[in-house]
């Protein structure tokens, strides 16, 4: 039992060590995951702040361009007024100021027409007034983006001053358009390597997304599902975007972080699977080796017993001739037969035993009678048979060995007076034998342990009886043996179930 306890202790120590290693690995991985998750959020946060500042810059640029447009219109109006004054001025009037204003316009394209659309003059344009007499068609459409300025230059006749954005303004406008058009694209491309979505204030309309399959959000229902998933995983980041106002940035963990989070569990699952396979292989090999040891030990025991047994049988024959004390001679003969049975039992271990039909009730009753004469008179045996004819295929010699082990254990469990009950019954599929004692009982935690080889609660003994019994019932007879119930200091019931027609 000490050896068995040491083995159990080592098993628990190794299990505790393995648990500690697994726990330490999981703890370290979780710490690493937390750190990476924190770093990813900081990257998304910095990216979102950069977007917000960029958006503020775009918004400021929009305002600035509106101011520039207003200033350019004022300059065109000033230029028109200067042109009017220059044409209508008297001979003695100083025209330097007006001419300076007119010549100072080197950037804004302007076209002056009469009330019928005939071009009077033009400046900062890429066409000649000689070749084009009328402002019409595509040219007029080009110069009609802004409302024309009405001026009275010739004898109160209305003239119209058309203009368009200055070359500098147009260049700046193109730059601004590029900034705005590339703004959302940069949102997609610079999403800090994590799946990200930007929604409007309603949280339903997606403005942009990055590092995601578009099929996942190609409908509102799918988009709302993805947003809800992101929202449950990480808190959103609020930003302001031009033309959208308040917007929200949602993101989820990167694929790398997700892999890292689940990798230890997959790793331990794989390791556990291989350990299980290895354990099963080693267990099978160990059981095969144990079977060989059992068979070798049994055959050697049978061989050792065979020599004195042969001698005893010869002495019995001599006693028969002398005709002294027939009763003693009969009992000696029973014990010799008993030794012969033991030899037969051990010789059958390791090989497939022969089975034959036998009346289970008669086999058990005969063996109980044999045990009564060889145990304490204080122990009473009671056999109950619900039927007197249960015929099944068994190896009688090996089966008697099981009954002997159970009866011996029951007798040893009783200190002083006690009873042993043997109950024999059957069902449609099984023959059932219950052996109950009024002994010290077995703790529930030991119900299975007592069948392990080497386990014993006795000071003397190898702890092989119940292990051999289990092997005989389950391996050779395809039945089952187990502790049906046990109460400390009240008794134990062992049950044997043997299949019929096998």
> How does pLDDT run across 71-110, given as a tens digit for each residue?
777 777 777 777 666 666 555 555 566 566 666 777 778 8
Q: Which helix (H) or strand (E) holds 496?
A: strand 491-499
Q: Classify 388 as helix, strand or coil.
A: coil
Query: pLDDT for 377-399, tens place per residue?
Result: 889 999 999 988 899 999 888 89
Question: Residue 90 — left, alpha, or beta (φ > 0 → left; ψ -120 to 50 → alpha)?
Answer: beta
Please answer whether residues 33 and 261 qualify as being in contact, where contact means their C-beta atoms are separated by less than 8 angstroms.
Answer: yes
Position 289 scores a pLDDT of 57
Q: By C-alpha distance, which of 476, 475, 479, 455 is closest to 466? A: 455
Q: Please tell me the predicted confidence (pLDDT) of residue 288.
A: 66
Distance between terminal CA atoms of the chain?
A: 36
pLDDT digits (tens, 9 = 90+) for 195-213: 788 888 888 788 777 777 7
* Res 1: pLDDT: 47
Report the interhelical angle of 2-88 vs 167-189 (nearest 10°): 170
Query: Does pLDDT of 8 surpass 70?
Result: no
- The two tokens of residue 369 are 């009678």
Distance CA 274, CA 294 (A): 29
| pLDDT at residue 473, as a whole number | 92
H/E segment holding residue 197: strand 196-199
CA distance 373 to 361: 19
Q: Are strands 157-163 and 196-199 parallel, antiparallel or unpaired?
A: unpaired
| Top-confidence range, 322-326, 330-334, 351-355, 412-416 | 412-416
What whole-number distance in Å separates Cα of residue 385 and Cα of residue 362?
10
The distance from CA 83 to its chain's CA centroid, rounded to whole angstroms, is: 82
Q: How confident is the model at residue 247 (pLDDT cuts 50, 70, 90)?
A: confident
Cα 111 from Cα 126, distance rounded (Å): 11
What ranges in 203-325 are assigned the alpha helix state H? 220-233, 255-322
Strand ranges inside 78-140, DSSP E: 110-114, 119-123
To the question of pTM greater than 0.85 for the whole model, the response is no
pLDDT at 92 (0 to 100):
56
What integer is the mean pLDDT of 398-403? 89
């Amino acid at each position: 039992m000490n050896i068995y306890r040491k083995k159990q202790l080592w098993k628990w120590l190794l299990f505790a060590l393995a648990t500690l290693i697994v726990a330490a690995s999981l703890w370290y991985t979780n710490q690493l995951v937390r750190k990476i998750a924190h770093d990813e959020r900081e990257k998304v946060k910095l990216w979102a702040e950069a977007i917000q500042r960029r958006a503020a810059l775009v918004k400021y640029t929009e305002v600035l361009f509106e101011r520039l447009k207003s200033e350019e219109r004022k300059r065109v109006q000033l230029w028109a007024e200067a042109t009017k004054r220059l044409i209508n001025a008297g001979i003695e009037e100083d025209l330097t100021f007006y001419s300076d204003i007119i010549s100072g316009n080197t950037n804004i394209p302007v076209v002056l027409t009469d009330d019928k659309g005939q071009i009077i003059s033009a400046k900062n344009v890429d066409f000649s007034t000689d070749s084009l007499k009328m402002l019409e068609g595509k040219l007029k459409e080009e110069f009609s983006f802004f409302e024309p300025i009405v001026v009275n230059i010739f004898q109160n006749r209305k003239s119209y001053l058309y203009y368009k954005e200055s070359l500098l303004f147009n260049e700046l406008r193109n730059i601004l358009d590029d900034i705005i058009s590339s703004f959302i694209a940069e949102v997609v491309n610079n999403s800090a390597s994590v799946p990200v979505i930007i929604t409007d204030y309603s949280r339903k309309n997606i403005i942009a997304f990055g590092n995601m399959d578009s099929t996942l959000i190609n409908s509102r229902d799918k988009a709302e599902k993805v947003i809800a998933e992101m929202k449950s995983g990480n808190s959103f980041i609020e930003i302001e975007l031009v033309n959208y106002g308040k917007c929200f940035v949602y993101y989820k963990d990167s694929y790398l972080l997700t892999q890292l989070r689940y990798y230890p569990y997959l790793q331990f699952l794989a390791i556990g699977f291989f350990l299980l396979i290895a354990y099963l292989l080693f267990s099978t090999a160990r059981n095969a080796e144990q079977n060989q040891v059992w068979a070798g030990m049994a055959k050697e025991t049978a061989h050792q017993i065979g020599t004195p047994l042969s001698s005893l049988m010869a002495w019995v024959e001599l006693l028969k001739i002398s005709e002294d004390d027939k009763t003693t001679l009969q009992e000696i003969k029973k014990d010799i037969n008993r030794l012969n049975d033991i030899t037969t039992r051990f010789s059958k271990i390791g090989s497939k035993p022969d089975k034959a039909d036998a009346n289970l009730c008669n086999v058990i009753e005969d063996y109980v009678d044999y045990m009564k004469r060889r145990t304490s008179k204080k122990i009473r045996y009671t056999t109950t048979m619900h039927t007197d004819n249960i015929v099944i295929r068994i190896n009688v010699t090996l089966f008697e060995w099981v009954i002997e082990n159970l009866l011996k254990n029951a007798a040893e469990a009783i200190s002083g007076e006690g009873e042993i009950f043997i109950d024999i019954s059957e069902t449609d599929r099984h023959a059932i034998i219950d052996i109950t004692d009024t002994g010290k009982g077995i703790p529930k935690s030991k119900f299975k342990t007592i069948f392990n080889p080497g386990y014993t609660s006795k000071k003397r003994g190898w702890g092989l009886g119940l292990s051999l019994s289990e092997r005989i019932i389950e391996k050779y007879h395809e039945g089952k043996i187990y502790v049906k119930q046990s109460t400390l200091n009240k008794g134990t019931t062992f049950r044997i179930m043997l299949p019929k027609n096998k």
